[in-house]
Amino acid sequence: MNGIEADSALVVDSLCKSYATRSGAYPVLQRVSFTVPRGAFVSLLGPSGSGKSTLLNILAGLEPADSGVVRVLGRPPHAPLPVAYMQQKDLLLEWRTVWGNILLGAEIKSRAQRDAMAEQARELLREYRLEDFADVYPAQLSGGMRQRAALIRTLLCEQEILLLDEPFGALDALTRRILQRHLLHVWESMGKTVVLVTHDVEEALLLSTRIVLLSNSPGRVVDSLEINLPHRVRAQSTELLRLKTQIYRSLGHDEENIFQSA
């Protein structure tokens, strides 16, 4: 166990969570455990209702878990996690320009922090081809541009771990691909640790170094896959096809069965 933990950034151990309903406690997460190595790109993959978002909310410190531990190694057990959180909704503040929005996280820390981040903010805007839109309000941007601005804001929070809750779920397929490439680039160049929640099998396969599979309600970890292929070759890889079949099988969606019963 120590061997695994030594290079892990984030350890999630036996998380349980249930919500109170009229008919009693409804379990959402059941003894969920996994580790996220430092610098890894881990996807939490599962059908809707597998408690993925609840899990991410717990990691982000927005909800308490009923039992179990989440901690970052090298830090005191109950310290707030060094995470930046991003949702499917871009959550840009409509009354702030793009510039005001992307520096929100830094501004909340301190004014000095905001001034210190200005150079990096400009650089990211350039990289994401938003530099002409710094003074524009979010309402004037397309969905893809808004989501890019939200991603820049998340990066400028300067946290080690990025928690992304289906960040590209609302985008069209082409824009999603572009943003996925951006995200990969950020992950590689900035050395961040990424935890991505998704129900898109392809997305998980194309991006992650590890996939944690969650079953349907209550969410349990049913499998965990390592993907060691370089990202460049993945789209054409037959290995990926094999992994895809394995994922569907683990989630109880055997394609042969589906076609037989149809």
Q: Which stretch binds other proteins (CB under 8 A): 35-43, 56-64, 224-232, 246-254?
A: 56-64
Establish if 110 lies at the interface with other proteins (CB under 8 A). Answer: no
Q: Work out the angle at residue 149's Cα, subtended by the Cα atoms of residues 131 and 110, and round it to the nearest 5 degrees.
A: 95
By C-beta, is 60 or 121 nearer to other proteins?
60
- Cβ 217 vs Cβ 18: under 8 Å: no
Q: Which of 75, 109, 126, 185 binds other proteins (CB under 8 A)?
A: 109
- Cβ 82 vs Cβ 91: under 8 Å: no
Strand 67-72: give its sheet, edge to edge: 24-37, 8-21, 67-72
Q: Which of 11, 137, 170, 200 binds other proteins (CB under 8 A)?
A: 137
Establish if 149 lies at the interface with other proteins (CB under 8 A). Answer: no
Q: Residue 54: how many CB atoms within 10 A of its CB?
A: 21
Q: How far is the CB of 257 from other proteins (least distance, A)?
A: 38
Q: How far is the CB of 139 from other proteins (least distance, A)?
A: 4
The sign of the CA dihedral 223, 248, 44, 220 is negative
Find the helix or strand (DSSP H, E) in which 13 lies: strand 8-21
Establish if 105 lies at the interface with other proteins (CB under 8 A). Answer: yes
Binding interface with other proteins (CB under 8 A): 57, 60-62, 80, 83-85, 87, 89, 91, 93-96, 104-105, 107-109, 129-130, 132-133, 136-137, 139-142, 144-145, 157, 174-175, 178
